[in-house]
Amino acid sequence: MEPMEWLGDNELLQFFRRSKTAMSIMENPQTFLRQLRDHDLLLDDDTYQKVNRMQSIKKIRKGLYEILDRLERKQPQHIRVFWTCVFKDSILNEYPTLRELRNDLMNGTFQSDIKQSERAETEEADEGKRKDVSEDEEEAEKQESSVKKKRKLKNRDVCDEEEEQPGPSSRVTPRKRPEKIHFSSPLKKGEKNDIWTWDLYKSQLPVTCGEKEGILSRKGLADGEQNINN
């Protein structure tokens, strides 16, 4: 049974996509290219002539890969025809690479490779999603921590301002005690005079009572008021 009879078009296309490089490096690809041209799988004859005239192996491989890549992109509906024509015995006998590819299709090896590749791609995508979520959570935690830190600093500043603000008692200006009047005698040493006749004592007189000292107001004394000030 031919593998194309039980494989879907999508599977054949996936297998083709994974086999382009292997086919592009086959030695002496001229017969392979003629087979593609005979089955109308080349978009134009100029491409075939151009690659067929190339002498550099590197350029030939590059040109062949471009042909296969363009076939995949612009004629994916012809991939089943492609495998049918290149799996002819005359072509398989000349290219061991094509024989190996046909065996992979027949024994189902390529399917396990595709599933493994798809599984790896899915796991990689899931890992990327988990990484994105993890980064988002980490960024959210950083922002929340920053907000808490700013709130804590703000509350501490408010507390510091409240502690530094003086209370009612600290704002009261203490009463300044009146300066004591010091009396000095205008007499020189050895002179005597009645000090009570001096101009200095016409309105007030210094008095003492035990250890206390004060100033007696003459006017207040005459008026009968309490007139001794400390």
Measured distance CA(152)–CA(149) in Å, rounded:
5
CA atoms of 55 and 31, how far apart (whole Å): 16
**Per-residue pLDDT at 181:** 54
The pLDDT-based confidence of 3 (bands split at 50, 70, 90) is low
Q: How confident is the model at residue 86 (pLDDT cuts 50, 70, 90)?
A: very high
Domain spans of the chain?
A: 3-107, 199-229
Reported confidence tier of residue 214, pLDDT bands at 50, 70, 90: confident
Burial class, 97, CB count within 10 angstroms (exposed 0-12 / middle 13-18 / buried 19+): middle
Can you tell me whether residue 177 is helix, strand or coil? coil
For residues 214 and 132, give the distance between their C-alpha atoms in angstroms, rounded to a whole number.
Answer: 90
Name the average pLDDT for the chain: 78
For 163-209, what is each residue's pLDDT tens digit?
Answer: 555 555 555 565 666 555 555 555 555 555 566 666 666 677 777 77
Mean pLDDT of 36-51: 88
Instruction: Give residue-wise pLDDT tens across range 112-148.
Output: 766 666 666 677 777 777 777 677 777 878 888 788 8
Query: CA-to-CA distance for 105 and 98, rounded, in angstroms?
Result: 11
In degrees and rounded to multiples of 5, residue 103 shows phi and psi of -65, -40
**Neighbouring C-beta atoms of residue 11, cutoff 10 Å:** 17
Say which residue, 101 or 109, is predicted with more confidence: 101
14 closest CA partner among 99, 75, 85, 72: 72
Q: Please tell me the distance from the alpha carbon of residue 68 to that of residue 74, in angstroms, as a whole number.
A: 10
Residue identified by tokens 């005690």 is 177
For the segment 79-95, the average pLDDT, to the nearest whole number, is 95
Q: Give percent of the chain with pLDDT exceeding 90.
A: 34
Q: What's the pLDDT at 198?
A: 65
Q: What's the confidence (pLDDT) of residue 192?
A: 56
Burial of 208: CB neighbours in 10 Å, binned 0-12, 13-18, 19+: exposed
φ, ψ at 6 (rounded to 5°) = -120, 5
pLDDT of residue 182: 53
Q: Cα dihedral angle (118, 123, 125, 130), rounded to 10 degrees?
A: 170
Rounded mean pLDDT, 56-84: 94
Question: CB count, 10 Å around CB of 12?
Answer: 20
